[in-house]
Amino acid sequence: MKQLKELNKSSAVDGFSAGLADDSDPFRWTVTIVGPYDTPYEGGLFRAELVFPRDYPVMPPRLRFLPPIPWHPNVYGTGEVCISILHPPGEDPHGYEMAGERWSPVHTVESILLSVISMLSSPNDESPANIDAAKEWRDDHEAYKRRVRRIVRQTLEDA
């Protein structure tokens, strides 16, 4: 709750808004992220759910787009975001990430949301959640941008 109050006080942060999904549950938030300027996602309105575990801030929350963003290298088909800072702390069992890139209790909701905005601007195609989107991002960037622009238009029609 403290982080939500701080987040809502801060007028310096653009590109997202957040609030409780249900006033009786401080562990489930609704988030809206505005697609970042000068990216294929520019102007889109992407809704997401941020769910905090009971042992937060020791363990990271989960962020899931609702409805799922259907075409991004770092978003699973379920809408769940796959970025390093949302992975549990410690060593990566697969060796893709250094421990310092993973979750740490010093992260805040603001740093998570800024990381997601950065992910929209610069996908990581090295360890993708959506292999087909990553392949198109690498091999046919213009086709990727056209597809994403259609998705952005849909988010505005659904808003």
Which residues are marked as active site? 82
Q: Which has the closest alpha carbon to 152: 62, 33, 15? A: 33
Find the length of the chain: 159
Encoding tokens for residue 52? 């905090």
Q: Please enumerate in sequence order all residues whose Cβ is within 8 A of that of 27, keeping only pairs 6 or more positions apart, or say none.
A: 51, 52, 53, 54, 56
Amino acid 131 reads I
Encoding tokens for residue 8? 């809502």
Q: Please enumerate in sequence order all residues whose Cβ is within 8 A of that of 154, keeping only pairs 6 or more positions apart, or say none.
A: none
